[in-house]
Amino acid sequence: MVFIITGGVNTGKTTLFERIHKRQGGGGFSLPKIIVNNQFKGYWIKDLNTGEKTEFALIESMDGYLYKMGRFYFLPQGMEFARRIYKKAIETEEKNFFIDEIGPLEL
């Protein structure tokens, strides 16, 4: 089954997404915003099962970024973290897998 949550910016889509995951169970990740001093800085990638997170994409350039898409600089540690989440879900044969955000990068 596929669920698609749509809505405007800052309308609570990720919060709703995480609540649905909590009820349904399964593997996956969310991309909560990184906010510093009330300013948007990028996105974390968060394992929905463990709560562990790492930086995924930032709007400011930093050394060692993997690639840039639009205004975002994607970090290798974030991509590796996502790969581990996918791999764990495959190995444990998760019935559900949740992906927060589908855009040009994911497609």
Are the C-beta atoms of residues 32 and 14 closer than 8 Å to each other?
A: yes
pTM to 2 decimal places: 0.85
Q: Domain spans of the chain?
A: 13-99
List per-residue pLDDT tens for the chain, 107 residues long.
Answer: 667 888 888 899 889 989 999 999 999 999 999 999 999 999 999 999 999 999 999 999 888 999 999 999 999 999 999 999 999 999 999 998 998 876 665 55
For residue 32, the 8-state DSSP code is P
Are the C-beta atoms of residues 73 and 60 closer than 8 Å to each other?
A: yes
Are the C-beta atoms of residues 29 and 82 closer than 8 Å to each other?
A: yes
Helix or strand run (H / E) with residue 40: strand 39-47
